[in-house]
């Protein structure tokens, strides 16, 4: 057996190499697909998480580590006065207790690029153009990878009053996994290359009549 | 000497060896497919939990407004709504139930009572692709509760 010097014929070699290449190519493609799928799931989770964080910032206020740790920027829950822009894409919130001569307000609005931007004044300090959604600045097809596709803040107060007592928040975001492929129409592009998440809630402004 | 022997070995692989190698590879591929399916299922489930939680919180906020304005809890009838993961996903029917229970517990306090308002959101999830057994009563549920305290009339 050890002295057998027969080897392989050319046909056997070609068939063997072709089959091995095919097997490896299939396995590598499967591995790439597997990695891509996991990445999509992780990115979709990030979208959900950041959208929820944005809703919570609107509800409770915004704190940025190292910037306003001890001075919270107000949210809807403890607001006294809420002003909603006529296009329902921006809200300005003011609290009850304000020291004489000090200004306190926070404004959350949707930018043209699909970000949620915070501008706020708290006492003698302010915060301008803070992007609270998205955390990532990654761009795909000249658009943000994570972007807001719908942001609606509405006054749904059951009473006729000059002050808002109940608001509804609708926020919908989209993550783009890859650029639009040639030959894909808008529907196919959204179905194959993006994923969306939509959250809705309501907030009672308990200090509205103070 | 050993290397020389190995190089001269013309034996090849037996059918059983090839089948075993293929079996191991197949096992790994199936494992990876199951893990993807499960991760996808968990991600969707997570999204549904968040939607349900926000809905339950929204209802409690409306009840709080009713209570502080009129002293009543308003309409606490069962409501139905739809959860949709994304625009192409199959909509899931969810139901929100409310429970109201007034507690007069003399062991806690003689002067205070409270009313428990519980909002319970329930829906049925589509099982993951590789699940072996699907229970017809496998409902998912989110429960949130708010207590309203008041002075007890002696």
Whether residue B98 is predicted with pLDDT greater than 90 in this model: the reply is yes
The rounded distance, in Å, linking the Cα atoms of B11 and A1 is 8
Q: Which residues pair with A25 in a beta bridge?
A: none
Tell whether B36 lies on the interface with A, counting CB pairs under 8 A: yes
The whole-chain average pLDDT of chain B stands at 85
For residue A172, list chain B residues with Cβ-Cβ distance below 8 A: none
**Whose structure tokens read 């319970």?**
B120
Residue B3 lies in a domain: no
Whether residue B93 is predicted with pLDDT greater than 70 in this model: the reply is yes
Whether residues A204 and B9 touch (CB distance < 8 A) is answered with no
Sign of the Cα pseudo-torsion (A132, A137, A142, A147, in order): negative
Number of domains in chain B: 1
Residues in chain B: 154
**Whose structure tokens read 């597997």?**
A34
Give the per-residue pLDDT at A98. Answer: 62
Q: Per residue in B100-129, pLDDT tens? A: 998 887 777 778 888 999 999 999 988 777
Tell whether A158 lies on the interface with B, counting CB pairs under 8 A: yes
Whether residue B142 is predicted with pLDDT greater than 80 in this model: the reply is yes
Residues in chain A: 210
Whether residues A190 and B46 touch (CB distance < 8 A) is answered with no
Can you give the residue range of the structural domain that contains B107? Answer: 13-151
- Region B41-64: mean pLDDT is 93
Residue B8 lies in a domain: no
Query: Residue A82, exposed/middle/buried by CB under 10 A (0-12, 13-18, 19+)?
Result: buried
The rounded distance, in Å, linking the Cα atoms of A201 and B56 is 9
Whether residues A201 and B58 touch (CB distance < 8 A) is answered with yes
The rounded distance, in Å, linking the Cα atoms of A86 and A89 is 8
The rounded distance, in Å, linking the Cα atoms of B68 and B75 is 14
Q: Is there a contact between A53 and A61 (Cβ–Cβ < 8 Å)?
A: no
Q: Is there a contact between A135 and A73 (Cβ–Cβ < 8 Å)?
A: no
The rounded distance, in Å, linking the Cα atoms of A89 and A67 is 26
The rounded distance, in Å, linking the Cα atoms of A94 and A73 is 10
The rounded distance, in Å, linking the Cα atoms of A54 and A51 is 5
Residue B98 lies in a domain: yes
Give the per-residue pLDDT at B10. Answer: 60
User: Chain A interface, mutation test: which of B9, B10, B24, most A Cβ atoms within 10 Å?
Assistant: B10
Q: What is the DSSP string of A71-107?
A: SPEE-GGG-SEEEE-TTSSEEEEE-S---TT-EEEEE
Residue B2 lies in a domain: no
Residues 6 or more apart in contact with residue B121 via CB below 8 angstroms: B52, B53, B55, B56, B94, B95, B96, B141, B142, B143
The rounded distance, in Å, linking the Cα atoms of B127 and B138 is 9
Whether residue A160 is predicted with pLDDT greater than 80 in this model: the reply is no
Residues 6 or more apart in contact with residue B97 via CB below 8 angstroms: B78, B119, B120, B122
Q: Is there a contact between A97 and A38 (Cβ–Cβ < 8 Å)?
A: no
Nearest CA in chain A to B53: A201
Tell whether B32 lies on the interface with A, counting CB pairs under 8 A: yes
Of B36, B84, B86, the CB nearest to A37: B36
Residue B73 lies in a domain: yes
The most confident of the ranges A2-6, A12-16, A125-129, A136-140 is A136-140
Going by pLDDT thresholds of 50, 70 and 90, the confidence category of residue B8 is: low
Taking residue B104's Cβ as centre, other Cβ atoms within 10 Å add up to 11
Whether residues B87 and A190 touch (CB distance < 8 A) is answered with yes
Whether residue A142 is predicted with pLDDT greater than 80 in this model: the reply is yes
Whether residues A202 and B61 touch (CB distance < 8 A) is answered with yes
Taking residue A43's Cβ as centre, other Cβ atoms within 10 Å add up to 18
Query: Residue A147, exposed/middle/buried by CB under 10 A (0-12, 13-18, 19+)?
Result: buried
The rounded distance, in Å, linking the Cα atoms of A106 and A33 is 44
Give the per-residue pLDDT at B59. Answer: 95
The rounded distance, in Å, linking the Cα atoms of B107 and B90 is 50
Q: Which residues pair with B100 in a beta bridge?
A: B117
The rounded distance, in Å, linking the Cα atoms of A152 and B91 is 22
Tell whether A196 lies on the interface with B, counting CB pairs under 8 A: yes
Tell whether B39 lies on the interface with A, counting CB pairs under 8 A: yes
Give the per-residue pLDDT at A73. Answer: 84
Tell me: ipTM over 0.90. no
């Amino acid at each position: 057996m050890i002295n057998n010097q027969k080897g392989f014929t050319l046909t056997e070699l070609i068939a063997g190499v072709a089959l091995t290449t095919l097997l490896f190519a299939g396995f590598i493609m499967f591995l790439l697909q597997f990695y891509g799928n996991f990445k999509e799931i992780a990115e979709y989770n990030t979208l959900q998480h950041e959208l929820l964080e944005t809703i919570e910032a609107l509800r409770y206020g915004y704190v940025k580590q190292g910037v306003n740790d001890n001075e919270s920027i107000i949210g809807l829950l403890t607001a006294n006065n809420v002003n909603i822009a006529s296009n329902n894409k921006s809200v300005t919130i003011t609290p009850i207790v304000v020291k004489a001569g000090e200004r306190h307000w926070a404004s959350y609005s949707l930018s043209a690029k699909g970000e949620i931007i915070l501008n706020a004044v708290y006492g003698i300090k302010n915060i301008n153009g803070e992007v609270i959604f998205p955390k990532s600045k990654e761009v795909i097809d000249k658009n943000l990878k994570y972007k807001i596709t719908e942001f609606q803040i509405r006054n749904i107060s059951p009473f006729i009053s000059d002050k808002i007592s109940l608001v509804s928040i609708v926020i919908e975001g989209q993550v783009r996994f890859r650029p639009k492929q040639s030959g894909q129409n808008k529907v196919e592009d959204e179905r194959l290359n993006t994923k969306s998440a939509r959250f809705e809630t309501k907030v009672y402004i308990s200090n509205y009549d103070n | 000497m050993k290397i020389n022997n190995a190089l001269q070995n013309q034996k090849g692989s037996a059918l059983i060896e090839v089948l075993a190698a293929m079996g191991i590879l197949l096992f790994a591929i199936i494992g990876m497919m199951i893990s993807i399916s499960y991760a996808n299922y968990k991600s969707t489930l997570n999204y549904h939990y968040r939607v349900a939680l926000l809905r339950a919180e929204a209802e409690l906020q409306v009840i709080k407004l009713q209570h502080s304005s009129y002293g009543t809890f308003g309409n606490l009838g069962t409501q139905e709504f739809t959860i949709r993961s994304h625009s192409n996903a199959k909509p899931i029917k969810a139901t929100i139930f409310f429970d109201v229970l007034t507690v007069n517990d003399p062991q806690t306090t003689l002067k205070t009572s409270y009313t428990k308002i519980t909002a319970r959101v329930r829906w049925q999830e589509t099982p993951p692709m590789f699940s072996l057994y699907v229970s017809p009563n496998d409902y998912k549920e989110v429960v949130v509760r708010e207590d309203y305290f008041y002075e007890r009339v002696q």
